């Protein structure tokens, strides 16, 4: 079998049989790919490998290509970089679970997308390292993900604008239909799209504001991509934040 080296971020894993896993990765070499990992759950196997396949964990690997392009295998797999806080901080792990499910639902392409992969890889490192602004990170992530998936506001924002979701434009007047963001959510969309991740802690949002803006972002993404409506971890996210 042909071998190749790459980096990946874990999106989802499923138990397969008594001792194996099916693992879905977003990779730099081939978009979303599926891998069979054998022996990872057995008592005699290397139990440490199981810890690699948690949501949004970064890995480096040497893969073996399946002749029928179904599920590849790993010749070697290890942590892409050492996570210092994400596995141990319930807030960060909740955000990571949400990010992984969103990407699992939305990203289906098996072709490389360098800009998208680099953004996702860097986002893991940024979430792991951040000390302030964790409660806003998923909002920042969704806003920038929408841009990388090919849709973002088509004009400049000015204070007091409404964002017309169906037209993809900021507007001075409230749209006559129901697919729009409130003035506050429109402001936050602009702020998230222009905010450096290091400044997220300076955006003061209450719980109700955060939930309202998350709902607006999900409506925005759902207008373009139906799969976002199947994301289940959003309920946990709302409870934590």
pLDDT in tens, 79-111: 999 999 999 999 999 999 999 999 999 988 888
| CB 56, CB 73: distance < 8 Å | no
Determine contact, residues 34/59, Cβ cutoff 8 Å.
no
In sign, the C-alpha dihedral spanning 183, 137, 192, 224 is negative
Let me know: does 236 contact 94? Beta carbons within 8 Å: yes
Lowest-confidence pick of 66-70, 72-76, 103-107: 66-70
Angle at 123 between CA 22 and CA 100, to 5 degrees: 30
pLDDT of residue 48: 57
CB-based burial of residue 40 (10 Å sphere; 0-12 exposed, 13-18 middle, 19+ buried)?
A: buried
pLDDT level of residue 43 (50, 70, 90 thresholds): low
Mean pLDDT for 7-29 is: 93
pLDDT above 90 coverage of the chain, percent: 78
Higher pLDDT, 102 or 69: 102
Q: Please indicate whether residue 44 or residue 64 has the higher confidence score (pLDDT).
A: 64
Is residue 145's pLDDT more than 80? yes
pLDDT in the model for residue 26: 97
**What number is the average pLDDT over the span 170-188?**
97
pTM confidence score: 0.93
User: By C-alpha distance, which of 56, 80, 70 is closest to 16?
Assistant: 70
pLDDT in tens, 223-235: 999 888 889 998 8
Beta-ladder partners of 73: 36, 64
Average pLDDT over residues 40-59: 76
Nearest to 167 by CA among 185, 153, 186: 153
Residues across the chain: 241
């Amino acid at each position: 079998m042909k071998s190749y080296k790459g980096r990946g971020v874990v999106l989802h894993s499923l138990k397969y049989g008594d001792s194996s896993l099916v693992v879905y990765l977003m990779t730099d070499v081939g978009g979303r790919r599926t891998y069979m990992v054998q022996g990872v759950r057995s008592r005699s196997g290397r139990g440490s490998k199981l810890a690699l396949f948690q949501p949004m964990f970064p890995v480096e690997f040497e893969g073996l290509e399946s002749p029928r392009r179904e599920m590849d295998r790993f010749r070697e797999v290890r942590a892409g970089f050492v996570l210092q806080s994400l596995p141990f901080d319930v807030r960060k792990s909740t955000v990571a679970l949400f990010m992984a499910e969103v990407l699992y639902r939305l990203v289906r392409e098996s072709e490389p997308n360098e800009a998208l992969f680099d953004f996702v890889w860097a986002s893991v490192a940024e979430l792991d390292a951040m000390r302030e602004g964790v409660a806003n990170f998923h909002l920042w992530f969704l806003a920038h993900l929408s841009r990388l998936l090919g849709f973002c506001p088509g004009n400049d924002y000015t204070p007091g604008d409404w964002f017309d979701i169906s037209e993809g434009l900021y507007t001075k007047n409230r749209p006559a239909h129901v697919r729009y963001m409130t003035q506050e959510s429109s402001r936050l969309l602009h702020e998230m799209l222009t905010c450096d991740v290091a400044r997220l802690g300076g955006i003061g949002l209450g719980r109700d504001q955060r939930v309202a803006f998350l709902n607006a972002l999900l409506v925005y993404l759902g207008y373009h991509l139906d799969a976002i409506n199947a994301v289940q971890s959003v309920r946990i996210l709302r409870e934590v934040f």
